[in-house]
Amino acid sequence: MNTLLAAQRHASFSRRHFFQGMGACIALPAFSSLAHGASRSAPTRMAVVYVPNGAIPAAFWPAGEAGGAFELSPTLSPLAKVHQQLQVISGLTDLSANAGPDGAGDHARASGTFLTGVRIKKTAGSDIRAGVSIDQVIANQIGHLTRFSSLELTCDAVRKSGDCDSGYACAYEYNLAWRSHNQPLSPEHNPRFVFERLFGTGSPRERVGNLKRRQADQKSILDFVLADARSVKAKLDGRDKQKLDQYLTSVREIEQRIENSTRMSVKNPDIDAPAGIPDGYQEHVALMFDMLALAFQTDSTRVATMLMSREGSNRSFADIGIASGHHDLTHHKNSPEIIEKVKLIDRWYMQRLAGFLEKMQNTEDVDGKSLLDHSMILYGSGNADGNRHTHEDLPIVLAGGGSGVLKPGRFIKASGVPITNLFLTMADGMGAKGVESHGDSTGRLNV
């Protein structure tokens, strides 16, 4: 790219992105077959979309009365088309991410505690400990209703070597979902593999057959390895045993999935699988969101997490004229020029969310309403003000109607309420029964 072109791109940034926002990566196919299913009532879906490094508070929070309508703030402005599907919630906290006795490491803590709601163990790798994340609590109850109990996605394709944040193991930054206190669920970063996991490999016509054949072969393999694993595990103890436990639960989950597949039909979209990871980050995010929408639309899963980028990400955004790294910029030294750049990044991420929500809004569900009407999409960060590493007043947007459970179009002003309280409310909305507490929750948040 030459300099003139770069300047051009930078100067006409908003117009260019407006047009790019219009062009979707994949047109979601219409599923007439879905409507002929046994049940005409649509299920509720839930996704958590995580953005790193918080958001500039002044540009994030909208104007509006508590409980009433609100005007979009500069950062939220890309969401104009789905304004009436949004609740903005202030006053939520993730106090488990505060330093306490553990000192530095607010980035690792922000993501490690976000869905688990518990303090995470400060360790460079020897005894990782978080808690079960809320998505997995919910998936444990409703996961058997779909072919995949949950889906974990990320748009971070490259990892750095060496240490992560201030003595915390990298697992805390690169994983959102935790199946148990020591088993993070590594997210998939390649849209092609997401697609092939959901629908099989090969051409649109062959792929379901391929999927079934593979799974049939896998059944006997899994029987064999289960026996191997049991005999090995019997001879181990302590942490070695935990490792084999992770292996065993993983094997059982695949068995369960294969079992489910025999009962549930694969709703195969008549489109080609994506080729792989697009070169541009923007295209990567868009394609990943397409995969998520497709998974929801085909009812392959109802629970998902999407880590846009690891917490503490230092990605630069050359497309919008930002050559410095995101994390470096968030420590902005109160320089107005740098703050403006961070706002642009905050807005950039919000545009990606907008693309996804619009797609969900424009996709019809089995009952004629939109996918978004039947969803709860939580967007936010475990860091509030990235400059000061605060974990109070987290930037949180909750989108969708939740099949009537949520009343969008309002600004909810909570005050010092653990975000886990909101998770309990979402668990209720998802039909998870008897989830009385989660992490540091103190009750349910009325939204």
Partner 1 sequence: MQAVSQTREGLLLVSLNFRSRTIAATLTATILLPFSAPLPAAETGNPTVAEYRAVISPILEKHCYECHGDGYDKGKVAFDSLETDQQIQEPELWLRVLLNTRAGLMPAEQKPRLNLVEQAQLERWIKYSVFKIDARNPDPGRVTVRRLNRVEYRNTVRDLLGVDYNTDHEFPPDDTGFGFDNIGDALTTSPMLMEKYVAAAQTIVAQAVPAAPSKPAEQIVKGAAFEGQNARLRWGKRQLQFHEPANVSANFKTELAGSYRVKFDLEVNGSYFPDPGKARVILKIDGKEFLKQEFAYHDEKSYVFESTHKWQPSEHTLSIELQPTIPPLKKETIIDLFVNKVTIEGPLEKSQWVKTENYERYFPRPVPAGAKQRRAYATELLGAFAAKAYRRPLTQADDDTAERLAKLAEDHYREPGKTFEQGVAHAMAAVLSSPRFLFRLEAPAAHALNAQVADVDEYSLASRLSYFLWSTMPDEQLMSLAARRELRNNLSTQVKRMLADPRAENFARNFTGQWLQARDVEGIASNPREIHIRDAGEEGSLRDLRKAWRNQDEATAKRLAEYIDRLVDAKPEFDGDMRKAMRRETEMFFGHVVSEDRPVTDLIDSNYIFVNDKLALLYGLPDITGPEMRKVTLPAGSPRGGMLTQGSALFVTSNPDRTSPVKRGLFVLANFLGTPPPPPPANVPALEASEEDFKGHDPVLRDILKVHRENPACASCHNRMDPIGLAFENFNALGMWRDTERKQPIETQGNLITGETFTSVAELKRILAQDHRQEFYATLTRKLLTYASGRGTEYYDVETIDGIVKRLNANDGRFSSLLMGVIESAPFQKMRIQATATVAN
For 66-95, b/e burial (b = at least 16 CB within 10 A) is eeeebebbbbbbbbeebbebbbbbbbbbbb
- Is residue 125 at the binding interface for partner 1, with CB under 8 A as the rule? yes
Output 273 or 293, the one with its CB closest to partner 1: 273
| Interacting positions 270-329 with partner 1 (CB under 8 A) | 275-276, 278-280, 314-316, 318, 321, 323-325, 328
Q: Are 46 and 303 in contact (CB under 8 A)?
A: yes
Total of chain residues touching partner 1, rule CB under 8 A: 99
Q: Are 97 and 113 in contact (CB under 8 A)?
A: yes
Q: Which residue in 69, 221, 262, 446 binds partner 1 (CB under 8 A)?
A: 221
183 phi/psi in degrees, rounded to 5: -125, 90
Site stretch for partner 1 (CB under 8 A), options 48-56, 261-269, 382-390, 409-417 = 382-390
Q: Are 308 and 50 in contact (CB under 8 A)?
A: yes
Output 58 or 225, the one with its CB closest to partner 1: 225
Q: Which residue in 119, 147, 189, 444 binds partner 1 (CB under 8 A)?
A: 189
Give least dist CB 277 to partner 1, A: 9
- Is residue 179 at the binding interface for partner 1, with CB under 8 A as the rule? yes
| Interacting positions 329-368 with partner 1 (CB under 8 A) | 331, 333-335, 337
Give least dist CB 115 to partner 1, A: 15
Site stretch for partner 1 (CB under 8 A), options 215-223, 298-306, 376-384, 398-406 = 215-223
Give how far Cα 441 sits from Cα of 93, 146, 280, 420, Å. Answer: 10, 28, 39, 5
Q: Which residue in 48, 86, 110, 185 binds partner 1 (CB under 8 A)?
A: 185
Instruction: Provide Rg for the chain, Cα atoms.
Output: 22
- Is residue 39 at the binding interface for partner 1, with CB under 8 A as the rule? no
- Is residue 141 at the binding interface for partner 1, with CB under 8 A as the rule? no
- Measuring CA to CA, which residue among 126, 282, 275, 265 is closest to residue 195? 275
| Interacting positions 143-172 with partner 1 (CB under 8 A) | 152, 158-167, 169-171
Residues 293 and 371: their CA atoms lie apart, in Å, by: 8
Paired residues of 307 in beta bridges: 50, 154
